[in-house]
Amino acid sequence: MPPLNDLESDIEALDAFLMSDQAPDDCMMLSDLDGFLTGLAIGPELIPPSEWLPLVWGGGEEPVFDDTVQAQSVLGAIMRRYNEILGQIAGGLIEPIFMETPAGEVIAGFLLGSLLGAVIGYLLGMSPPTEVALSPYILALQIAPNNPDARFMSGQAHRVLYFWHMIGNKFLTLLSNMFTNLNLTDMETCYKVFRREVLQKITIEENRFGFEPEITAKVSKLDVVIYEVGISYYGRTYAEGKKIGWRDGFRALWAILKYNLFR
């Protein structure tokens, strides 16, 4: 990968690296990363990169760089985007990468970054300028009139993709609902918003797609109010970077049994 010279080429080269075999299987994609950096940037305190960079790579394996030049280019691209986000917040409006397609990954990364800085409570009572700057994210985080403790979002406009993925998703949702006694439309939805005090009662153990049934099972055992609201979903093809496979389906199945029966 050639050295990165400007922010646009930074983003393109970083995207290519994150989708390459040199990046760990569990690493964030560019849209996840962009939301994650935004969540970090709005925190009341700056968190050292040494504390959050491992999460970018999935918390396990490290990326494989060709040489120090490539390592500096990739890490430099991440930090330059982080600094750009800080500047956008100060300037009044963030421009998320892939905010429309696929928005779910941006929000998922944003929530992770926010949780790392323990700022979800802060988000819901922020100053007007910051609220305007973060309006794309606040739209997903708004609390419904009845003040639910958790929001699972599903079901509006969506890109038409894989039939068997849909069948598998419906089966996992049905099985999860049978164990939790909830009537969720889509347990695997990537939008999930919680009050901070709810998440502080939960210890997350999964780091891939088992997270969805895990968090659903654990929330169902708490005395909380849950709402579903509609979202739009624009999925990716495998050529566009989609990574979920049949192994993840079996992991989700095991997670439903594990966290509902043995936790």
CB 106 within 8 A of CB 35: yes
Radius of gyration over alpha carbons of the chain, in Å? 18
Give all strands (DSSP E) within 24-92, no chain letters: none
Q: Give the model's pLDDT for residue 151.
A: 53
Query: C-alpha angle 244/247/252, rounded to 5°?
Result: 85
What are the Cα distances from residue 216, in Å, to 135, 188, 259? Answer: 27, 9, 9
- Give dist(CA 205, CA 124) in Å, integer: 26
What element of type H or E holds 214?
A: helix 211-220
CATH code for residues 7-139:
1.20.120
CB contact burial 19-40 (16+ within 10 A = b; e otherwise): eeebbbeebbbbbbbbbbbbbb
Per domain, the residue ranges of the chain are: 7-139, 144-261
CB neighbour list of residue 115: distance below 8 Å, 6 or more residues apart: 39, 196, 199
The β-bridge relationship of strands 192-194 and 150-153 is: antiparallel
- Residue 251: both structure tokens together: 């992991």
pLDDT in tens, the chain (263 residues): 444 447 778 888 888 999 999 998 888 888 888 888 888 887 767 788 888 888 888 877 889 999 999 999 999 999 999 998 888 877 777 777 654 444 455 566 666 676 665 544 444 344 444 444 444 454 444 443 445 555 555 555 566 677 888 888 899 999 999 999 999 988 887 667 777 778 788 888 887 778 889 999 999 999 888 877 666 666 677 787 777 778 888 999 999 999 999 87
Q: Give the model's pLDDT for residue 87.
A: 87
Q: 225: phi > 0 → left, psi -120 to 50 → alpha, else beta; which?
A: beta
CB 97 within 8 A of CB 106: yes
Residues shown for the chain: 263
Amino acid (one-letter) located at 162: Y
**Which residue pairs, CB below 8 angstroms and at least 24 apart, start in 61-66?**
61/24, 61/25, 61/26, 62/24, 63/17, 63/22, 63/23, 63/24, 63/27, 64/22, 65/22, 66/1, 66/22
